[in-house]
Amino acid sequence: MYTNSLRLHWFLLVAPLVLAANLYVGLATRGQVDRLIEAGLLFDLAVVIPCLYWFCYRNLGRKAVIRAAAFACLGIWVALKLVLEPERDLLNYVAPIRYAGIAALVWLELVVVVAIYKTVFKGGSVSHAVSQAPTDMPPWVAKLLAAEANFWLKVWALIKRLFGKR
């Protein structure tokens, strides 16, 4: 059983090794980072780790691609933290890509939140809204969002009743 789960989730074994090697290189060369080390850190953290994640979990389809993109944004951020400001050359050009990626991820989450709110506001129940959530959002988060949408629906109905025509 343990070997089967290791075959399915080998990313959880390989990624920390790559990350540990990059942290060692980044911290050991602090103050003397050249372009090659900077490029290596950036490549490992923003390309290798997301690709390893996608390759391990490619059967998840679109979910794996979205998570790999999130890992790429996280990898750029970690590389920015490992390389000191005066030593950054390549990272100064790549950093804006991180912001574009974060904006895309926020947009996807906003689409999910709007879908949950639409389901509740159209008369669906909380459990129906949770089941219709178009992503791999944790069920407890979807339940909280649906409950919040249900709360605002009731507040809106109360406001309409209080200030409506009599």
Rounded to 5°, angle at Cα 109 from 45 and 54: 35
Query: Whose structure tokens read 């999130």?
Result: 70
From CA 30, how far away is CA 86, in angstroms rounded? 11
From CA 27, how far away is CA 46, in angstroms rounded? 18
Q: Give the other-Cβ count within 10 Å of 53's Cβ.
A: 23
Query: pLDDT-based confidence at 134, cuts 50/70/90?
Result: low
Query: What pLDDT digit, counting tens, does each position of 73-96 carry?
Result: 999 998 888 888 888 888 888 888
Check: pTM over 0.75? Answer yes or no.
no
Query: What pLDDT digit, counting tens, does each position of 37-85 carry?
Result: 888 889 999 999 999 999 999 998 888 888 899 899 999 998 888 888 8
